[in-house]
Structure 1
Amino acid sequence: MPNELLLILSLIFTFSAVIAAFYIFHEQGLFLWTTIATIAANIEALIVVDAFGMEMTLGNILFASTFLVTDILSELYGKKAAQKAVYLGIVTSVFFIPISCSWLLYTPNKNDWAMPSIRTIFSNTPRLMLVGIVVYVVVQLFDVWIYHKWWEFTTKKFGDSRKYLWLRNNGSTMLSQLLNTVLFTLGAFFGVYSFQTLISIMVSSYIIFVVTSLADTPFVYLARYIYNKRFQS
């Protein structure tokens, strides 16, 4: 199956999974998704693929889903709920680093076949996770802050706090993802790949983030619809 098709299917599945978690578990489902995406995205980011004529790392869609989560929480439950999701992501990373590092301390049995692969993957995880924590804190808190600044602007400008959800959603996410792209790529991969590859990864990652930012807007509207019909009726 082509990488391009896999990425499109991954985006649809991932954003739909966020809505499913919200539909089934309400606010707690969004917190649950944050912990899942935080761990999986940092591991998936180790994989570099070619798609749409660009060189890119995986993990971008899962990272984008965390912005979808904070935007839904900001819209429906307020700034404190969105910040709570950010803090849960931080705690998840802090606990996962020593857990994954501890696996590498064991002496494998002579019949073991998994340790070489585990060592290859998770020997790089501490750097990715540490960079991920720092970038996650900065970017996600910025995203929550700028989302509410956009909300104040649209409410003041148009006199309706419900209108122009698409503007505050895309305005906050695109700015946050630009910051995320630069900080995470340099922090995670500087010295690992050539400067040309780093630029390629940043450009491709941000293009993906622009696409995912636009793609997540219907899901934010859907979450608000579910909230009004299912939880407020």
Structure 2
Amino acid sequence: MQELLQNQELLWVLTVVYDLGLAIILYRFFGKYGLYAAVILGIVLGNLQGGKVSQLEFFGYSFTASMGAILYSGIYFATDVLNEKFGREEANRAVMLGFVANIAVMITLLISVQFKPSQITGSALEVHNAISTLASYSPVFVIGSLIAYLVSQTFDVWIFHKIKV
């Protein structure tokens, strides 16, 4: 199994399948609320792992990919299903929920790193440093990511609605 996961391209494909599968499962069990959750999870986790980049090779072409970008497939899928089944307003609501949730997570991380780590547990400093790293992305990166998310998702919802009508 470990050797299988060393294949970066296969791991990328499995991650996309996992992401889309999670959106489908959430929709199956929770309806539109599950799709809201898929959008929120996708944007929050996508931004948390956005700084993690890997080198991939597909069909002889090598490229660097952000691991956060993988999760956008589930976001687009969820908003398109919301648009198809529940209408444009519900799809736009999911986009805004994802936007607000992402801002809340970033603010919460920034606040949490202001607390000094405990000296009682050995891992407290390591966890503090890891959260500090996640929270310390350049503000330009975070703002740019959120603007790109809003623009791309709003356009996706709009164009899907136009094609549908």
Aligned to 1:18: 23
147, 157, 160: which one aligns with 1:144: 157
84, 88, 106: which one aligns with 1:97: 106
Q: Is residue 70 of structure 1 aligned with residue 83 of structure 2?
A: no
TM-score scaled by structure 1?
0.61
Unpaired segments ≥5 residues, structure 1: 153-233
**Residues 61-107 of structure 1: CA deviation (Å, up to 9, x unaligned):** 21121111111111111111111111111110221121010122112
Aligned to 1:122: 135
Q: Distance in 2 between matches of 1:143 and 1:10?
A: 22
Percent of counterpart pairs with the same letter?
26
Q: Distance in 2 between matches of 1:61 and 1:48?
A: 11
Aligned to 1:40: 45
SS of 2:55's partner is strand
Q: Distance in 2 between matches of 1:118 and 1:128?
A: 17
**Residues 128-182 of structure 1: CA deviation (Å, up to 9, x unaligned):** 4322222222111111111122223xxxxxxxxxxxxxxxxxxxxxxxxxxxxxx
Q: Is residue 60 of structure 1 aligned with residue 69 of structure 2?
A: yes
**Residues 198-217 of structure 1: CA deviation (Å, up to 9, x unaligned):** xxxxxxxxxxxxxxxxxxxx
Amino acid at match of 2:8: N
SS of 2:71's partner is helix
Alpha-carbon contact 1:39-1:93 (below 8 Å) kept? yes
Q: Distance in 2 between matches of 1:43 and 1:69?
A: 20
Unpaired segments ≥5 residues, structure 2: 1-5
SS of 1:26's partner is helix
SS of 1:59's partner is helix
Amino acid at match of 1:37: G
Alpha-carbon contact 1:41-1:59 (below 8 Å) kept? yes
Alpha-carbon contact 2:106-2:135 (below 8 Å) kept? no
Q: Distance in 2 between matches of 1:126 and 1:95?
A: 14
Cα displacement (A) at 1:25? 0.5
SS of 1:106's partner is coil
